[in-house]
Amino acid sequence: MSPFWGEVLGTMILILFGAGVCAGANLTKSYAKDAGWVVITLAWGLGVTLGIFAVGNISGAHLNPAVTVALAWTEDFAWSDVPLYILGQLIGAFIGACIIFLQYLPHWKATNDPGAKLGVFSTGPAIPHSFSNLLSEFIGTFVLLLGLQFIGAGEFTEGLNPIAVGLLIVAIGMAFGGTTGYAINPARDLGPRIAHAVLPIAGKGSSNWKYSWIPVVGPLLGGSLGALFHKAVFNNSLTTEFWIVLVISVLVFGMAYFISPKKFAS
C-alpha cells in the first residue's frame, strides 16, 4: 500500500469512530443518545489510536493536514509530498463520513434537529465569535503538535506510541473541546462537512460554510507554530519559519478580530 492510500485508510478509520460516536450520541432513537462528552472524547481518541496502528508503518499516520504541514515547516517531511497527503486525508474523511451516513440511515429522518445532524459531520462553536473560535482551534492544535513532539522524543516502546497519541487526543478534547468541538484537524472537519453538503440527509439544513474556514485555518496555524515552538525551545533551533508562521498568525487573528462582533452572543 502506498503512503497516499495509507492516509486515506487511516483517516477513514479515524472518522468512522469519531463521526460514529457523534451520530450515536446525537441522533434520535440511537441507544447511545445523550451518551455525553466523555464518551465522545474517548471514541475520538481510540479512533486515532487504531488509525495509527493501521497505517503508521505505511505513511507515518499523519491523518491530519495540520500535522503534515507542521512537519514540513520543521523539515521533517517533504513539502513536495504535502498535497498528496492532504488529498488522501480529505478523501478518507469523506469516505468515513459517508459510511456513517449509511450506518445510521433510518435515524436521519427520525431526528428533527438539523444542528444535531450537522454535529455528526463537522464542528461548530458553542458561542459564535470568530476571533475566540479561531483562538480555541489554534490553542488546541498547538498543544497537539507540542504533545506529539514530546511523545516522539520519549523513550516509549514503539508499540505504545499510538496509545499515547490517542490519550493526548482524549485529553485535548476534555480540556479544550468544549468551545468549538475541537476539530484540531482540517480534514476531520472539511471532508465530513462536504459529505454533509452532498449526501441526501433528510432535513439536514445548512452545512454552515461561513464557519468552515476556522477549523481549517486555526489548526494549520496552531499546529505549525506548536511544532516550530518545540524546535526552538527544546532543540535550541529558532528558525526563520517560526517567525514567518508567527507573523501570518498575527495577521489572520487581526482579521478575525476585525470581523468578530464586539460582544459575545448570549
What string of DSSP letters covers 65-112? HHHHHHHHHTTSS-GGGHHHHHHHHHHHHHHHHHHHHHHTTTHHHH--
What region, left, alpha or beta, does residue 167 occupy, with left being phi > 0 and alpha being psi -120 to 50 degrees? alpha
Distance between CA atoms of residues 202 and 185, nearest Å: 27
Distance between CA atoms of residues 196 and 99, nearest Å: 12
Q: Tell me the pLDDT band of 134, cut-offs 50, 70 and 90.
A: very high
The whole-number pLDDT of residue 240 equals 93
Q: Tell me the pLDDT band of 160, cut-offs 50, 70 and 90.
A: confident
pLDDT at 206 over 90: yes
How many CB atoms are closer than 10 A to CB 232?
Answer: 16
CA dihedral of residues 150, 151, 154, 155 (deg, nearest 10): 180
How many CB atoms are closer than 10 A to CB 92?
Answer: 29
pLDDT at 199 over 70: yes
Does the pTM exceed 0.85? yes
Which are the contacts of 85, defined by CB distance < 8 A and separation ≥ 6?
Answer: 3, 4, 7, 59, 62, 65, 68
The whole-number pLDDT of residue 152 equals 78
pLDDT at 265 over 90: no
The whole-number pLDDT of residue 91 equals 98
Q: Residue 99 has which C-alpha cell?
A: 459510511
Q: For residue 199, how far is the Cα from the chain centroid?
A: 21
Please state the rounded mean pLDDT for residues 193-215: 96
Q: Would you say 11 and 92 are in contact if contact means Cβ atoms under 8 Å apart?
A: yes
Q: Tell me the pLDDT band of 175, cut-offs 50, 70 and 90.
A: very high
Q: pLDDT tens-digit profile of 138-157?
A: 999 999 999 999 887 555 55
Q: Which residue pairs, CB below 8 angstroms and at least 24 apart, start in 228-234?
A: 228/70, 228/73, 228/74, 229/142, 229/146, 230/145, 230/146, 230/149, 230/150, 231/74, 234/149, 234/153
pLDDT at 158 over 80: no
- Which phi and psi (to 5°) does residue 64 adopt? -165, 120
Q: Tell me the pLDDT band of 258, cut-offs 50, 70 and 90.
A: confident
Alpha helices in the chain (DSSP H): 3-26, 37-59, 65-73, 82-103, 107-110, 114-121, 130-153, 161-176, 186-198, 214-234, 240-259
Indicate the helix (H) or strand (E) that contains 18.
Answer: helix 3-26
Q: pLDDT tens-digit profile of 208-257?
A: 999 999 999 999 999 999 999 999 999 888 899 999 999 999 999 999 99
Q: Would you say 41 and 21 are in contact if contact means Cβ atoms under 8 Å apart?
A: no
Amino acid at residue number 240: T
The whole-number pLDDT of residue 157 equals 52
Q: pLDDT tens-digit profile of 41-87?
A: 999 999 999 999 999 989 999 999 999 999 999 999 999 999 999 99
pLDDT at 264 over 80: no
The whole-number pLDDT of residue 153 equals 55
Q: Would you say 58 and 1 are in contact if contact means Cβ atoms under 8 Å apart?
A: yes
